[in-house]
Structures are given as structure tokens and as C-alpha cells.
Amino acid sequence: MAASATESFTPHDLAGVLLVAALVLLASIAAVRFANKSGLPTLVIYLGFGLLMGEAGLGIDFENSELTQVLGYSALVLILAEGGLSTHWSSIRSAVAPAAILSTVGVLVSVAVVGVFVHLLLGRAWTIAFLLGAIVTSTDAAAVFSVLRRVPLPARITGVLEAESGFNDAPVVLLVIALADAATPGKSPGPWWFIALEAAAELVGGALIGIALGWLFGRLLKLGAGSSSGLFSIGVVAVTVLAYAAATLLHTSGFIATYLAGLVLGNLHLPHHQAVRGFSQALGWLAQIGLFVLLGLLASPDRLGAQIVPAIVVGLVLLLIARPASVLASLPWFGFSWREQAFLSWAGLRGAVPVVLATVPLTVGTPHTEWIFDLVFVLVLVFTLVQAFPMPWIARRLGVVEQAHMVDLDVEATPLEELDADVLQLHVGDTSRLHGVEVQELRLPAGANVTLVVRDGQGFVPRRRTVIQRGDQLLLVTTLASRGDAIRRVRSVSRDGRMAGWATPLRPDTE
């Protein structure tokens, strides 16, 4: 095999491949700026690159669904690792329970609704209908947050979306594999109750493995941390990959293990945390670009046209019936208002995960399922655009926009790490009650302070009597110990005014 590979792939061929890959990466990086300005999701652009390079464009012939699935799983591992490493536990702590229900009970509700409609409207067999429902039900972290970066949402909503996108891949993958086996002659997945117990055991086992490996290796890495932030970052990401491999080899869920290992590592206050975050984000972007371009290459434009109408039908059922039903079955018990539920229903974007899962029936050998990949590809492409463009308008109309929007700034500075400090950026919205409040009236906790105000493009260091105005950008420096209290204090003043905490008790807001 080695000799054959050497004869068929020369250094000259390598130069050609690297030329194309480098040009695609540079074009993809440039496309991010365009996407941020236009609101067009990056996944649509990257899928378009793949289509342009494929058989209908530059003529690259790629039909290997098994290789696509393997590379797709590899990319998902890196994407989930980056999601876990960059997530603050405090920002999703209150959202874990509702997101877990939405990722399990909600998934089953969505699969059932889509399956019934696919059977009735498209005339597909029950098993195939539910298989399609399982494939399209998973929300995608990359797709969701590429759009939500433009929408300043409350921590309650972003926490649910963030946690759900990290949790739901694992149960959906298990469900898709079980349904594909059930639809394949010669394979007997067993009774439904046994499959349910097996899936639950795999999820619990994967979660325990991910948490245990993240905690153990996090402690070891902290003890053996050297001066090289690059090597340390490689070691942290390697632990998340180890969690996937170990969990998978032990017949548990590798995806949930990867995400939870990353979540544990990202919240252990490891050294070089900004370098680790930057490195994992770079790998995540590389995985997204490669995955979407690869999926675009696998798609055949000649076949996609026949699936446009079925894809729109399934997509409308998913968007207008199945997703709202799954949200309604999962979230009212946690005190979510109808406005929050409506937005969460609309914000369930699909991305690479459903398209990768659409290759599972092909690799398993499920007969007469070639159309599923084409349908899912069209559905993701069309409904990402349909849902993404009006997202900011819908958030404003539903009144779920955060008027005091705060984000972390990635500041590479060793003194910040030595001081256990964070730098936060605060934008004062048009209706925020921070307007007219003096800096001293914020009554920030010890260890937190407003260090810079940018107003009308001009920056200045505020005094205690400086009055905050609408549209101001504030830099808030805080120790890690005071970070949560500072964020809660700013949000309460933005919501209730300068008398927050005096006239009304502070609400137990999350970060």
C-alpha cells in the first residue's frame, strides 16, 4: 500500500493540493469579514466553495461518503472541543438542565413530528421517515453562533443554545445509527427498550469519561505547565481528542466526552488560557472550513434540484412545527416566557452535523437512501438563509435583546494571568437604564472597575462622577473572583436603574 501510494501521489501532486488548499483557506478567511457585514452565515459560503470546486465547477470528482463521514467526525471533535474550551461554566450553569431536556426529550419530540409528516406527506416508510427526522433534528453550534454574534442576547438564552448545541450531537448520532441499522436488511438493532437503555448508558458513560479525563489531565497539565504556551495548548486539545477516542473504544459516546472534557479543562483556570482558547478557535475554524468545503464537494448539483420541494416541505415542518413542539415540551417547566421560547424555536439552526449524519445510511448500507444526503444538503442551505437573515429583527420584535451586552476580550497578557484578571467589553444599548448613571453608582464589587469609556469614537478614563450614556463602550477590568458579581451588578442596573438592589432585590442572574 505504501509503495502504491508513493507511485500515485508525487511531490508535484502535493504542491497542487497545497496550492488549492491555501487558496481556499485564504478565500474562506476573507469571506468571514463579508459574512459579518452582510449577515450571511459562513457555512453557506463554504458550502458554495465546495460546490464551485466540485464536478459542476472546477471538475474535482469526489464521491467517497465513507471518507467524508470519517473526516466529518474528526472535524466535529475539534469543533466540540473548541466549544467546551471557550465556554464559561457560569454562563451555562443555569441552562444545563433545560438544555439537557431539550437535547433528549426535545430531540425525540422533534424526530417523532418530522417522521410522521415525512411518512404522510412524502410517502416514505416509517423507519426511513424517522431516520430522516433524526438526521435533521440536531442543531449546530457553528451555525448558531456565526449568526448570533450579531445579536446581543441575554445570558439565559445564549446559555441554552450553547449547551444544547454541545449536548445534542451525542444522542442524535446514536439515534441515527440505530435507525439506519433498523432500516438495513441483515441487521437487527434489537427491541426499542434495549436501544433506549443502551443509548442512555452510552451517554452517561461518555459524560463520566469526559469529566474524569478533563479533571485528571487538567490537574496534571497545571502541575507540569512550562513556559511554552504553544506546547501547552497542544496538550490541552490532545486531552479532548483522547476523551473522544477513549469513550468511543469503550462503546460510550465520544462526542459528549469531548465536549465535557473541554468544558472541564476550560474552567480549571489553567495557565496560558488565552493561548489555549486562541489555538482551539483556530483549529475549530480550520475544521469548519474543511468540513463545509468537503460536504460541498460531495454534493452533486445535478441531483440537488429534484430534492428542492421535498427539502422545503421537511424544513417548514421542522421550523414551524417540530422545533416549536420540542421547545414547548422541554422549556416551560424552567420558567421560560413565550417570547424566549419563540426565539429559541426560530434559532435552532442546522449546519454541518445533519449533512455529516446524512452519510451514515450510505456507509451502513441502508438501501435506497441516496436521496437523503441531497435533501438534507438543500434543507440546510435554504433554511440557514431563511432563519439567519431575520434573526436580529426577530430578537428585537420579541424583546429578547440584551441592552447591556457584555463580551470577553481576548487579551494576550501574562500579567492578567498572574493577577487572575479578566477584561470585559460592555455596550450600553438604546433602552438600557445605565444611561444617566454615574460610574460610582454602579457600586461594583471590590476587584472590579470601569477603566475606559469610548464615546463617539473618542476614548477617555472615567472618573467616579462620569455619567454613562447610551451607545457608550466601556472596558471593565475585574479579578476572576469578582467577575460574576460584577456582571450581575451591571445587568441589574441596566434592567432596574441606579436603585437596583435598593428598591428591588438583585435577581440571581447568570453570566
Taking the mean position of all CA atoms in its chain, how far away is CA 391?
Answer: 16
Do 394 and 378 lie in one domain? The reply is yes
SS3 473: strand
User: Is residue 3 in a domain?
Assistant: no
Q: Residue 510 domain-assigned?
A: no
Residues 381 and 463 in one domain: no
Q: Do 151 and 291 reside in the same domain of the chain?
A: yes
Residue 26 lies in a domain: no
Q: 394 and 424: one domain?
A: no
User: Between the CA of residue 194 and those of 129, 199, 479, what are the distances in Å?
Assistant: 21, 9, 50
Give Cα separations from 98 to 30, 154, 171, 331 (angstroms). 37, 15, 15, 6
Same structural domain for residues 364 and 410? no
4 domain-assigned: no
Q: Assess contact for 60 and 297: CB atoms under 8 A.
A: yes
Q: Given 373, 398, 423, which residue is the final one in a domain? A: 398
Q: Are 386 and 417 part of one and the same domain?
A: no
pTM: 0.78
Between CA 340 and CA 289 the distance in angstroms is 31
Query: What's the pLDDT tens digit per position in 323-354?
Result: 999 999 999 989 889 999 999 999 888 877 88
Report yes or no on 290 lying in a domain. yes
Of 338, 373, 398, the position where a domain reaches its end is 398
Q: List the CATH number of the domain containing 344.
A: 1.20.1530.20
Measured CA to CA, the distance from residue 426 to residue 155 in angstroms comes to 14
> Does 142 reside within a domain?
yes
At residue 3, the pLDDT reads: 45
For residues 321 and 432, membership in a common domain is answered with no
User: Residues 493, 499, 503, 505: what is their CA dihedral angle, to the nearest 10 degrees?
Assistant: 30
Domain boundary among 360, 376, 398: 398
Cell of 239: 486531552
User: Which residue intervals of 123-191 are DSSP H helices?
Assistant: 126-136, 141-148, 155-167, 169-182
Per the structure, the count of domains in the chain is 2
Please give the grid coordinates belonging to residue 412: 494576550
Range of the domain at 336: 39-55+65-398
CB 261 within 8 Å of CB 240:
yes
Both 81 and 167 in a single domain?
yes
**Per-residue cell: 128:** 426511513
Indicate the burial class of 39 (C-beta count within 10 angstroms; 0-12, 13-18, 19 or more). middle
Regarding whether 205 and 187 lie in a shared domain, the answer is: yes
For residues 444 and 363, state if they share a domain.
no
Burial of 196 (0-12, 13-18, 19+ CB in 10 A): middle
Note whether 114 and 317 are within 8 A (CB): yes
Burial class (CB in 10 A: 0-12, 13-18, 19+), 414: exposed
- 467, part of any domain: yes
Check which CATH number belongs to the domain holding 426 and give it: 3.30.70.1450
Tell me the C-alpha distance between 372 and 356, whole Å.
11
15 belongs to a structural domain: no
Are 455 and 323 contained in the same domain? no
- Written as nine digits, the cell of 261 is 472534557
Shared domain check, 422 and 358: no
The label of the residue with cell 435506497 reads: 368
pLDDT tens for the chain, 511 residues long, are 344 444 577 777 788 888 888 888 888 888 877 776 666 677 788 888 888 887 777 777 777 888 888 888 898 899 889 888 888 787 778 888 898 899 889 999 999 999 999 999 998 999 999 999 999 988 876 666 666 666 677 778 888 887 887 788 778 888 888 888 888 887 766 677 777 788 788 888 989 999 999 999 998 888 876 667 788 889 999 999 999 999 999 988 888 899 999 999 988 888 887 788 889 989 988 988 888 888 888 888 888 888 899 999 999 999 999 999 999 999 998 988 999 999 999 988 887 788 888 888 888 888 888 899 999 999 998 988 888 888 888 888 888 877 666 555 555 544 555 566 778 888 888 788 888 888 888 888 888 898 899 988 888 999 889 999 888 888 888 887 888 888 888 888 888 887 776 655 545 444 4
pLDDT score of 2: 43
- The confidence score (pLDDT) of residue 430 equals 79
